[in-house]
């Protein structure tokens, strides 16, 4: 009872920012992302009768802290589903997601864990079912089941049965690039989980955010299908700014941005002024991701690398979905 799966991380162009059910991880809004080929997690799950509890190693280190709790609680979902209570596993993950680049490893981490666990237990789940399981590990992870351009449909049902990801366009539909800009920034002090909850509960701007989302989502999907880079980039950038604006209206207010974050945003805007279409997006941290077209790569990377406070720039192409090793 052993299986290995590999999943890539994703970057949201329309952000998931808020839950309507924290236990089942049901979102208040639908979101849309691009799966990235540069960053992934490979996880082997091996169920063994002789184990008394789960064992989790990450990059060859045995994990015992809160990350262990999250993994073992998550496996409980599968044990209950498969009627295998008391059957424990060795979970071995290799994470190729540079945390310094500001990507949460939870997206690729939970997608790989869900896929490997389901395969090891021979559950024979559809991708849709797998996406629902993955969602319950970390919301954004449910989009990493698929490659290319992916929407997480928020759904309506209280039990989460209609809240899962679907593919909008496959990996080979459109060759765009995403540069992860690594900054000399301090660690974030508000996690995405805490930040989104505080925003939903207290931000005076939250309703405005929610009201604007359906139109953003429809328009960006049209842009993706038509490969209209300026449309997709400008909607993604504006959507990111709106999400971050909600944090300023929270109580107490907070922001993920640092001075270097804004310096990179200015570089991107000045690239556009000089004729190179590039657009930024930012998750729950200070780092910036920049979208651009392959033909502009040289100039975009040069300008980003010359920006004060930038220590590294890591390029990704559009990536594939779950694979089994
Ligand atoms: C800003 O998926 O990490 O990156 O569901 O609580 O695990 P949990 O949150 P998580 O939040 C991601 C928030 C975001 C936007 C996005 O990826 O859509």
The CA 291 to ligand 1 mean position distance, Å, reads 19
Pocket of ligand 1 (CB under 6 A): 12, 15-16, 25, 31, 104, 106, 138-140, 192-193, 283-284
Number of domains in the chain: 2
131 and 17 in a single domain? The answer is: yes
- Does 321 map to a domain? no
Q: What is the pTM of this model?
A: 0.96
Q: Each residue's pLDDT tens digit in the chain (325 positions)?
A: 999 999 999 999 999 999 999 999 999 999 999 999 989 999 999 999 999 999 999 999 999 999 999 999 999 999 999 999 999 999 999 999 876 666 777 899 999 999 999 999 999 999 999 999 999 999 999 999 999 999 999 999 999 999 999 999 999 999 999 999 999 767 667 889 999 999 999 999 999 999 999 999 999 999 999 999 999 999 999 999 999 999 999 999 999 999 999 999 999 999 999 999 999 999 999 999 999 999 999 999 999 999 999 999 999 999 999 999 9
8 and 125 in a single domain? The answer is: yes
CATH number at residue 186: 3.30.70.890
153 and 13 in a single domain? The answer is: yes
262 and 147 in a single domain? The answer is: no
Structural domain of residue 231, as residue ranges? 179-316
87 and 223 in a single domain? The answer is: no
- 60, with CB counted inside 10 A (0-12, 13-18, 19+), is exposed
- Probe residue for ligand 1, chosen from 10, 67, 191, 284 as the CB with the greatest number of ligand atoms within 8 Å: 284
- 64, with CB counted inside 10 A (0-12, 13-18, 19+), is exposed
- Does 165 map to a domain? yes
- Out of 154, 173, 192, pick the residue that ends a domain: 173
- Out of 120, 142, 173, pick the residue that ends a domain: 173
């Amino acid at each position: 009872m052993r299986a290995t799966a590999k999943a890539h991380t994703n970057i949201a162009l329309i952000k998931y920012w808020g839950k309507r059910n924290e236990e089942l991880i049901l979102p208040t809004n639908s979101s849309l992302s691009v799966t990235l080929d540069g960053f992934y997690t490979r996880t082997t799950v091996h169920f063994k009768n002789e184990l008394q509890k789960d064992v989790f190693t990450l990059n060859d280190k045995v994990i015992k802290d809160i990350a262990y709790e999250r993994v073992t609680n998550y496996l409980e979902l599968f044990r209950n589903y498969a009627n295998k209570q008391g059957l424990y596993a060795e979970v071995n993950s290799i994470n190729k997601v540079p945390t310094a680049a500001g990507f949460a490893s939870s997206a690729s981490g939970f997608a790989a864990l869900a896929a490997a666990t389901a395969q090891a237990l021979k559950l024979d789940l559809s991708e849709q079912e797998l996406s629902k399981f993955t969602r319950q590990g970390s919301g954004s992870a449910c989009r990493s089941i698929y490659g290319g351009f992916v929407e997480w449909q928020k759904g309506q049902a209280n039990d989460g049965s209609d809240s899962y990801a679907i593919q909008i366009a496959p990996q080979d539909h459109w060759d765009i690039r995403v540069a992860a800009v690594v900054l000399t920034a301090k660690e974030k002090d508000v996690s995405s989980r805490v930040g989104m909850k505080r925003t939903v509960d207290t931000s005076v701007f939250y309703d405005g955010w929610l009201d604007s989302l359906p139109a953003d989502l429809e328009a960006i999907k049209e842009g993706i299908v038509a490969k209209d880079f300026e449309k997709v980039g400008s909607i993604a950038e504006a959507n990111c700014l709106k999400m971050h604006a909600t944090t300023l209206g929270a109580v107490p207010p907070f922001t993920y941005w640092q001075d270097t974050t804004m310096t990179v945003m200015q570089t991107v805007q000045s690239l556009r002024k000089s004729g190179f279409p590039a657009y930024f997006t930012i998750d729950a941290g200070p780092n910036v991701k920049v979208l651009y077209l392959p033909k502009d790569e040289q100039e975009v990377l040069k300008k980003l690398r010359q920006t004060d406070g930038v220590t590294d720039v890591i390029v990704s192409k559009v990536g594939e979905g779950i694979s089994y090793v």
